[in-house]
Structure 1
């Protein structure tokens, strides 16, 4: 079976940087997986996702998404992917409904379909009664849920999530994870980064652990735990592979 994402020898070195942010990474992600990219600060997770989304160019190597090469088919790829960045990509003075209609229109959605899709997703994530409130009045968890909706209105085949539950309350985190599981069950392949290792252990079907721009291990959460001496959970696997040193400033 052809992987939905195929990454071959992908590297990135930023201008004036001393080291590569991503160094010769090769990785296959199969359709239907919830694939976790885990690693400490400076590991290269966001750089990798940014390249796959077309936000930055690789220094070397290449990748395909759904068989499409980004160099020749960037517009086609953009139609089948969704992106939920770590930072809120919302207009604070607009309402939740106005934000979502704007982002939906950017994906080519319009009319009754867009209107109904916005209402449906706001309702599923417990936000319908706040639909006409300005984003600047929302809590962090509410903003995070609207941020998610903005990235999935067009039913993407592949969804990229960069720290989708960072800084939110337990209720919002559970709502986001439950909704993402439903999306996955309905056919969306998910690529996800997080510092929440217990969450990742429960949520992800497959995982790659990155550090200093390289992949140190990959597999299912249970296989990585079984392969690491005396590890009882994914956090202990993570520490065993990446060490205990602080990564401040990296």
Structure 2
């Protein structure tokens, strides 16, 4: 069955596993683009014990400088969690993120100079007024 987004063929035993994707093959080509954001082995677990929930499990991905990238996935896939960690809003359980070779955990102030994030919910503070805008 083809994928809605990429026309990928899927494994008949496990329809969620992508066997071939033209999009993935293009990404895997040896290119000379500069990596702007590098995510390596990123894991985020909320809660602990029986109430723990794994939002990201060993995610590794590169985002290239001067390229537009879309992050698509169903509700609960970890998109917002990934973006929030990449911007330093909260720490990962394990793994790391480099923004232009700066580790977000050790150089957060420097990273925030080159990262912007527009979250899915309005972020207004009690002291925000119409005059601010």
TM-score band (shorter)? 0.5 to 0.7
Cα contact 2:91–2:105 (8 A) shared by 1: no
Q: Give how far 1:91 is off.
A: 5.5
1:34 aligned onto 2:72:
no
Conservation of the 8 A alpha-carbon contact between 2:46 and 2:55: yes
Is this contact kept in 2: 1:8–1:62, CA < 8 A?
Answer: yes
Q: Is the 8 A contact 2:47 2:53 kept in 1?
A: no
Q: CA deviation at 1:8?
A: 0.6
3-state SS of paired residue (1:48): helix
Alignment length, in residue pairs?
98
Matched, 1:80 2:114: yes
Return the structure number with greater helix share.
1
Q: Does 1:48 align with 2:82?
A: yes
What are the within-5 Å matches in structure 2 for residues 58-97 of structure 1?
58-90=92-124, 94-95=129-130
Indicate the SS of the match to 2:80: helix
- The 5 A counterparts of 1:1-250 are 1-16=33-48, 17-90=51-124, 94-95=129-130, 98-100=131-133
Q: CA deviation at 1:71?
A: 1.8
Question: Which string of whole-angstrom CA distances, capped at 9 and with x for unpartnered residues, describes residues 149-203 of structure 1?
Answer: xxxxxxxxxxxxxxxxxxxxxxxxxxxxxxxxxxxxxxxxxxxxxxxxxxxxxxx
| Match of residue 10 from structure 2 | none
Q: Over the residues paired in the alignment, what is the CA RMSD in angstroms? A: 1.8
Aligned residue in 2 for 1:143: none
Structure with greater strand percent:
2
Unaligned runs of 5+ residues in structure 2 are 1-32
Structure 1 unmatched runs, 5+? 101-250
Counterparts of 2:125 and 2:86 in 1: how far apart (Å)? 25
After superposition, what is the alpha-carbon deviation per residue over 1:18-38, rounded to whole angstroms, capped at 9, x for unaligned? 441000000000011211111
Distance 1:91 1:21 in 2: 27
- Give the structure, 1 or 2, with the largest relative contact order (CA under 8 Å, sep 6 or more): 1
Distance 1:65 1:89 in 2: 23
TM-score norm. by structure 2 comes to: 0.66
Q: CA deviation at 1:82?
A: 1.3
- Answer whether contact 1:10 1:26 (CA < 8 A) is retained: yes
